[in-house]
Structure 1
Amino acid sequence: MSPPAKSAHTVGPPASEPYPALSYELFPPRSSSAAETLWQTIRELEQTSPDYVSVTYGASGSNRDTAVELLGRLLAETSLKPLAHLTCVGNTREYLFNLVDELITLGVRGILALRGDQPQDSSGHSELVYASDLVQLIRTAERRRTAHLCAGRLAVGVAAYATKHPESPSFDHDVEALLAKQAAGADFAITQVFFFPDHFERLVSAARRAGVEMPIIPGVMPLTSVRRLDRLSELAGIEMDHRLRDRLAAADDDGARRRIGVQATVDLANAALDAGAPGIHLYTFNEHAAALDVLDNLQLRRPPIPGGLGRTA
C-alpha cells in the first residue's frame, strides 16, 4: 500500500523567531527651537528603521493641535509609523470619538490608550473613567471605519506598570487593570520606566498568571541623568536604583556619566529581552544621542533594511 499523498497544506518547519520590536517615544515640541531639535532627532532615529514611534498627548488634550500636526508630518514626510497617545481624563465621549475619527482619517493606524493624569484642581469632566473605557470607545469608533481600515483594525496599546502605579492600592490591582484593558480590546502593553530587571519579570509573571496574554513591551529610559532619575522617582513613585544614582553623581564628567548610564540601560534592556520581552521601547525625551548609544551597544537583532539604507551599529 502506497503512502498517502502529501497535502498541499502540510505544515512545514516552524518559522524563525520574530525580530525584537523597536520603538521610540517622542513628544510634540513646545517652541520653534524645540521643533528644530526634535526633527533632527526624528531624522536620526528614522535611520534605525523602528517599527513605530509613539507621540505623546498632553493632559486633557492640552497639546492636541501640535500633537496632530506632528503625527501628520511624520506620516507625510517620513517613513515612520506613528502610535498616537490618547488620554481620556478631562474629555467628553463625543470629543474623544471625533478625535479617534480624525486620527484614522489622518492615516494613523495605532493608538496608545491612556487614562491620563488627574488634574490637581479637579477641573474638566471625564465621561470615561479608566483606560479600558477608552479602549472600548476606540474599538467602537473603529467599527464605523472598517471600510477605510482595510482589515478593519487599529493597533491599540495600553500602559503597564512594572512597579505599582502611584494612585493604585496595590500591584495586584494594577495587574487586574491590565487584564481589564485586554478584555476591552487592547493588543499590547508598554511599561512605565523601571530600574530593576526583576520588576519587569515580576509584572510579566503575575500578568500571565492572571490571564493577560498580550505582549508586554518594556519601556526603557537612557539612565544618564541624575536629575531625570530623581524626577521620575518623585513623580511616578518608581523605586530608585540608588547604587546607579550614586555612580552617576560621582562620575568625573558628562562623558563618564553617559558611559555609565548607557551601560546600565543596555544591561536592563538585555535582562528584559532574556526574560522573554518581545522588544524594547525607548523613551528618548526628544534626544537621539543617548538613545542611539543604547541601541548601538544593545546590538538588537533587526530585519535588514530594504536597499541597505539606514544606520548600522
Structure 2
Amino acid sequence: MHIIDILDQHQTTFSFEFFPPKTTKASEELFQTISQLQELQPSFVSVTYGAGGTTRDRTHELIVRIQNETNLTAVSHLTSVCHTRDELRAILDRYAVSGIENILALRGDPPRDQSGYDRSNDAFQYAEELVRFIASHPNPPNPRGFGIGVAGFPEGHPCTPNRLHELDYLKRKVDGGAQYICTQLFFDNRDFFDFRERCEMAGISVPIIAGIMPITSRQGMVRMADLALGARFPARLIRAIERCAPDYTNEQVSKVGIHWATEQCRDLLDAHVRGIHFYTLNKSDATRQIYQNLGVKDSIALRSSVT
C-alpha cells in the first residue's frame, strides 16, 4: 500500500524511523525494538540509507526483513549521491521484486570517509531529479509504480539560504511525483506551523508529516546538532536541560526530552497535523513513553482520538 493511501484513510498517521544496524547482534537488538514498537501499530516505518556500499545492502536487507517478518508497511530511503542511473534502476528493480512499494527520495550526503567527493559524477544532482526518475520507473506488482515521499525542512534547508527559493525547489519535487512530505526534526512547533503555511501559499497541497526526535541524553543532543545542520534548540529547552547539571544523567535528560516531545505532539495534534514521524534512533523507550504520556496505548487509539 502506498503511504498516500494510508494518509487518505487516517486524519493523522504515526510512524517510526530506524537505521540499518552494523552487526548481527545490533540487528537482533533492533528487531526486538521493532517488535516492541509494532505493538503500537504504527501507520508505517522507514529505514535510512547511506551512500556507502555496505550500508546500502543493510538498508535493503532490513527493509525486506520488515516486509517479510512483520505486518508493518516499510518505506526505504534512497539517495542520489554516489549512484549512476543503472545502479538506481537496479535498486528499484530489487525493491519491486521484494514487494517494497514506498521510497523516500533524498539528495543525500556523500560518505564521511570521502571528503571532497565530486557530486558531478552522480546521476542526479538534486532530489527533484531522483523523484522524477522513481516516478517513471515501473513497479510490476503495483501498476501505479512506487509511492514517493520527500523531505521538508521547517527551519530551512541547510544548502538553501534563500528561504524563498527553498519552497520553489520543494514544489518541484511535489510536481515531479512526490505524494507527501516528511520533515526534518524540529523542537519549536512554530517553525513547523510557519513551514506548513508557507507550503500552502506556494501551492503545495500534499500531506506534511512532522518529524519528532526526543532528546534522551546531553551527548545525543550535541550529536543531533551536528547531524541535523541548522537545527534550532529553543532557549527554554536548553534551560530545561541545563537544570540537569552537573551530572546530566541520561535518566534526568531523558525525562526532560520526553516531556518536551510529548508537549510538541499534543500541540501538533491539536493543530490537526497530518502525521507524526518519530526518529527512534533504534530505541523504543522514548517513543513508548510519549504514547503513554499522551494517554493511549497504540496509534490506532491515538488516531481515533483525533479524528
Asked if these proteins are the same fold (TM beyond 0.5), I'd say: yes
The CA deviation at 1:263 is 1.1
Using structure 1 for the length normalisation, give the TM-score: 0.85
1:240 aligns with 2:236: no
Q: Partners of 1:279 and 1:98 in 2: how far apart?
A: 31
The CA deviation at 1:174 is 2.1
The CA deviation at 1:237 is 1.5
Q: Give unpaired runs (5+ residues) of structure 1.
A: 1-15, 306-313
Change (3 A) 1:221 1:99: same
The CA deviation at 1:60 is 5.0
Question: Could you tell me which residue of structure 1 aligns to residue 155 of structure 2?
Answer: 163
Letter in 2 for 1:271: D
Whether contact under 8 Å (2:20, 2:58) holds in the other structure is: yes
Question: Could you tell me which residue of structure 1 aligns to residue 251 of structure 2?
Answer: 255
Bigger relative CO (Cα 8 Å, ≥ 6 apart): 2
The CA deviation at 1:88 is 0.3
The CA deviation at 1:62 is 4.8
Alignment of 1:53-72 (within 5 A): 53-59=45-51, 61-72=53-64
The CA deviation at 1:114 is 0.3
Whether contact under 8 Å (1:60, 1:91) holds in the other structure is: no
Q: Give unpaired runs (5+ residues) of structure 2.
A: 1-7, 303-307
For the pair shown, which has the larger CA radius of gyration, 1 or 2? 1
Q: Partners of 1:80 and 1:18 in 2: how far apart?
A: 16
Q: Partners of 1:248 and 1:175 in 2: how far apart?
A: 33
Question: Could you tell me which residue of structure 1 aligns to residue 275 of structure 2?
Answer: 279
Q: Partners of 2:135 and 2:253 in 1: how far apart?
A: 45
Using structure 2 for the length normalisation, give the TM-score: 0.87
Q: Partners of 1:174 and 1:159 in 2: how far apart?
A: 12
Q: Report how many aligned residue pairs link the two structures.
A: 286
Q: Partners of 1:285 and 1:53 in 2: how far apart?
A: 13
Whether contact under 8 Å (1:190, 1:281) holds in the other structure is: yes
Q: Partners of 1:60 and 1:87 in 2: how far apart?
A: 11
Change (3 A) 1:273 1:153: farther
Whether contact under 8 Å (1:86, 1:114) holds in the other structure is: yes
Deviations 1:96-129 (A, max 9, x none): 1111111111110110000001453224621111
Runs of 4 or more off by more than 6 Å in structure 1? none
The CA deviation at 1:34 is 1.5
Deviations 1:216-245 (A, max 9, x none): 100000122222222222341211223313
Question: Could you tell me which residue of structure 1 aligns to residue 264 of structure 2?
Answer: 268
Q: CA RMSD in A?
A: 2.2
Tell me which moved more, 183-192 or 269-278.
269-278
1:96 aligns with 2:72: no
Tell me which moved more, 122-131 or 110-119.
122-131
Whether contact under 8 Å (2:179, 2:207) holds in the other structure is: yes
Letter in 1 for 2:294: L
